[in-house]
């Protein structure tokens, strides 16, 4: 395969369709006992697009898929994009309350759902003011099933024309207040990412990449599939991350590539039989979305071989801000020292990275400032909140909100976060949201939420709680109430009861002071 940059200057769907023609007979999606060739993925996603248009779907309308990983869910995602729609990612691992809130906030108009999430429909209807269409992916009796719905699709294959700045998807993130915001990722962003990822996978005509899709495809995993199709991989899709199954699948399917958050990698490394499998096919295990323990990274290099690749990205500028390549983990044939392994790598082919001061002016090497980026993967901003977008754009740079420095060899290091965000198990958790949930529990007088180091999760959520007078609550009781209110991802892993909190001169809780005892001497890699 030869990567021609000009082929990535056209709309994402044109890039995908070229791949579908070039690799028409090759297996594209493999899920349980289902298999779809590239030609079939193209055909089925066209049916979805035409059925949507036939139902009155217009360019720019918002559509979501509430489902675990599956081949059908991905085909529908592609169909939404073909129809000119905006894909609203919904992570089924999040709490039902959060997902319903996202669908309402982003104005979801069409919903495809797995039958197991049917009970949420009345609440979603209420939150969105009424869906224009809902389709069950599982073809259950009494439902509007996908297969029957597609039978009425017109037999034509017109794609809705997309311009570079047209929105493809709106994933959720959070801002300086910790409250979630939608990020508008455009066709332009996906074109750039497709180019960068195709370069990663350029291994010669006779080496077909085989991706294992185990991480949620509503998250980074799905964006990777959409932007890597130009290279013609076979995607082996798993509904969930089952650690033993992942290890066995590495060997059975001759997997070459996978993306996993560090917590999942730690789980693989902890399996007692982890050294019993054949990993010779693996070319890249990409880790990211969370801090990674250097000790665990070294163990992964020992067990899986020279295949680890890290990097830095964020929802506002996905995946390819920097990359710590496979070869960057080694110096003169030996595993690189910890000082290198703590780096998030160097700028990628689609990004320009600088450390900037408060005026967004680039700073000299070695000095600490905010990490800033320019490039094709920088989003168009926040949905419906231009004033928030203005806060993260200055002097032509996108401001990441992370504090770091760049060494003389252009390797970037993150040393602190400007925004009060916790990355745990590959997911962003905003302390304000957790504090809101905990403080709503009767008997809680005050709460401060921080991230603390964790070998398992990279960081874990910790809450310091001040109880009201004469209230008696145990840690277990409070944790159970939190899970019910805010879901397991955001629920603190531990709670510490305090009499009072350290305060700033302005009387605010001083989280910087609180964090000191937990992070002193800790090392982190992202």
* Mean pLDDT across the chain: 90
Verify that 386 and 477 share a domain, yes or no: no
Verify that 41 and 174 share a domain, yes or no: yes
Q: Which residue has the higher pLDDT, 16 or 415?
A: 16
378: CATH: 2.30.38.10
Average pLDDT on 135-154 reads 82
- Quick one: tokens of 352? 């320009």
Q: Which residue has the higher pLDDT, 145 or 410?
A: 410
User: Which alpha helices (H) appear in 342-416, and where do they start and end?
Assistant: 386-391
pLDDT band at 521 (very low <50, low <70, confident <90, very high): low
**pLDDT tens profile 434-490:** 887 888 888 888 888 998 988 888 889 999 998 988 889 999 999 999 998 888 888
Average pLDDT on 191-203 reads 95
Average pLDDT on 149-178 reads 78
Query: Which of the listed residues 220, 240, 260 is the one where a domain comes to its end?
Result: 240
Verify that 463 and 496 share a domain, yes or no: yes
Question: Is pLDDT of 371 > 90?
Answer: yes
Verify that 338 and 405 share a domain, yes or no: yes
505: CATH: 3.30.300.30
**Number of Cβ atoms within 10 Å of the Cβ of 88:** 27
DSSP 428-461: EEEHHHHHHHHHTSTTEEEEEEEEEEETTTEEEE
Query: What pLDDT is attached to residue 524?
Result: 43
As beta bridge partners, residue 402 has 417
| pTM higher than 0.85 | no
Verify that 438 and 413 share a domain, yes or no: no
d(CA 13, CA 87): 14
174: CATH: 3.40.50.12780
* pLDDT above 90: percentage of residues in the chain: 66
Verify that 472 and 501 share a domain, yes or no: yes
d(CA 160, CA 153): 16
Domain count, the chain: 3
Question: Is pLDDT of 526 > 60?
Answer: no
Verify that 397 and 427 share a domain, yes or no: no
Query: What pLDDT is attached to residue 14?
Result: 96
d(CA 131, CA 421): 33
d(CA 415, CA 522): 11
Q: Would you say residue 314 lies in a domain?
A: yes
Q: Would you say residue 358 lies in a domain?
A: yes
Average pLDDT on 215-231 reads 89
Burial of 396 per CB tally in 10 Å (0-12, 13-18, 19+)? exposed
Query: Which of the listed residues 365, 388, 417 is the one where a domain comes to its end?
Result: 417
**Number of Cβ atoms within 10 Å of the Cβ of 251:** 15
Verify that 374 and 504 share a domain, yes or no: no
d(CA 145, CA 118): 12
Which residues, at least 6 apart from 41, have a Cβ–Cβ distance to it below 8 Å? 20, 28, 29, 75, 78
Q: Would you say residue 442 lies in a domain?
A: yes
Q: Would you say residue 304 lies in a domain?
A: no
Query: What pLDDT is attached to residue 262?
Result: 81
Average pLDDT on 250-275 reads 92
Q: Would you say residue 524 lies in a domain?
A: no
Q: Of the ranges 80-89, 142-151, 350-359, 470-479, which one carries the lowest mean pLDDT score? A: 142-151
Q: Would you say residue 273 lies in a domain?
A: no
User: What's 9's DSSP letter?
Assistant: S
Query: What pLDDT is attached to residue 174?
Result: 45
Q: Which residue has the higher pLDDT, 214 or 263?
A: 214
Q: Of the ranges 222-226, 291-295, 390-394, 446-450, which one carries the lowest mean pLDDT score? A: 291-295
Verify that 457 and 497 share a domain, yes or no: yes
Verify that 105 and 184 share a domain, yes or no: yes
Question: Is pLDDT of 178 > 70?
Answer: no
**pLDDT tens profile 20-67:** 999 999 999 999 999 999 999 999 999 999 999 999 999 999 999 999
Verify that 67 and 93 share a domain, yes or no: yes
Q: Which of 170, 173, 203, 213 is nearest to 189 (CA)?
A: 170
User: Please, are residues 438 and 482 in contact by the beta-carbon 8 Å criterion?
Assistant: yes
Q: Would you say residue 430 lies in a domain?
A: yes
Q: Which residue has the higher pLDDT, 178 or 395?
A: 395
SS3 107: coil
Host domain of residue 228: 5-240
pLDDT band at 517 (very low <50, low <70, confident <90, very high): confident
Query: Which of the listed residues 401, 417, 433 is the one where a domain comes to its end?
Result: 417
Verify that 179 and 327 share a domain, yes or no: no
pLDDT band at 433 (very low <50, low <70, confident <90, very high): confident
**pLDDT tens profile 225-251:** 999 999 999 999 999 889 999 999 999
Average pLDDT on 85-100 reads 90
Q: Would you say residue 288 lies in a domain?
A: no
Query: What pLDDT is attached to residue 419?
Result: 61
**pLDDT tens profile 304-334:** 999 999 999 999 999 999 999 999 999 999 9
User: Please, are residues 85 and 63 in contact by the beta-carbon 8 Å criterion?
Assistant: yes
């Amino acid at each position: 395969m030869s990567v021609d940059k000009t082929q990535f200057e056209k709309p994402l769907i044109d890039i995908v369709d070229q791949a579908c023609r070039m690799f028409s007979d090759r297996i594209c999606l493999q899920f349980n006992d289902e298999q779809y060739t590239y030609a079939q993925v193209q055909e089925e996603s066209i049916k979805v697009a035409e059925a949507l248009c036939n139902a009155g779907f217009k360019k720019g309308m918002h559509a979501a898929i509430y489902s675990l990983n599956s081949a059908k869910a991905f085909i529908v995602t592609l169909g939404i994009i073909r129809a000119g729609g905006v894909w609203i990612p919904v992570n089924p691992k999040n709490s039902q309350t959060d997902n319903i809130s996202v669908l309402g906030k982003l104005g979801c108009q069409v919903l495809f759902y797995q039958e197991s999430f049917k009970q949420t429909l009345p609440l979603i209807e209420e939150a969105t003011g009424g869906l224009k269409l809902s389709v069950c992916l599982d073809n259950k009796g009494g439902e509007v099933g996908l297969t029957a719905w597609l039978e009425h699709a017109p037999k034509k294959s017109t794609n809705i024309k997309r311009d570079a700045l047209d929105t493809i998807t709106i994933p959720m993130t959070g801002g300086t207040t910790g409250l979630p915001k939608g990020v508008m990722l455009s066709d332009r962003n996906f074109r750039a990412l497709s180019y960068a990822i195709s370069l990663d996978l350029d291994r010669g005509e006779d080496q077909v990449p085989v991706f294992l899709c185990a991480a949620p495809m509503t998250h980074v995993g799905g964006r990777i599939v959409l932007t890597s199709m130009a290279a013609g991989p076979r995607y082996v899709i798993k509904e969930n991350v089952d650690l033993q199954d992942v290890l066995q699948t590495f060997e059975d399917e001759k997997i070459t590539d996978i993306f996993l958050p560090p917590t999942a990698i730690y789980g693989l490394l902890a399996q007692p039989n982890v050294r019993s499998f054949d990993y010779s096919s693996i070319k890249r295990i990409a880790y990211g979305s969370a801090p990674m323990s250097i000790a665990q990274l070294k163990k992964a290099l020992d067990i899986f071989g020279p295949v680890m690749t890290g990097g830095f990205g964020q929802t506002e500028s996905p995946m390819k801000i920097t990359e710590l390549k496979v070869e960057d983990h080694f110096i003169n044939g030996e595993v690189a020292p910890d000082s290198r392994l703590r780096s998030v790598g160097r700028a990628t082919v689609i990004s320009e990275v600088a450390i900037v001061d408060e005026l967004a002016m680039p700073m000299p090497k070695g000095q600490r400032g905010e990490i800033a980026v320019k490039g094709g993967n920088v989003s168009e901003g926040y949905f419906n909140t231009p004033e928030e977008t203005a806060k993260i754009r200055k002097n032509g740079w996108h401001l990441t909100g992370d504090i770091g420095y760049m060494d003389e060899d252009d390797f970037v290091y993150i040393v602190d976060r400007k925004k009060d965000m916790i990355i745990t198990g590959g997911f962003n958790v905003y302390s304000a949201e957790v504090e809101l949930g905990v403080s709503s529990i009767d008997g809680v007088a005050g709460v401060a939420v921080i991230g603390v180091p964790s070998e398992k999760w990279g960081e874990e959520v910790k809450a310091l709680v001040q109880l009201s007078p004469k209230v008696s609550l145990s840690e277990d009781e409070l944790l159970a109430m939190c899970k019910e209110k805010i879901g397991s991802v955001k629920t603190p892993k531990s709670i510490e009861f305090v009499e009072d909190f350290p305060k700033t001169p302005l009387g605010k809780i001083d989280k910087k002071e609180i964090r000191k005892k937990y992070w002193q001497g800790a090392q982190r890699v992202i």
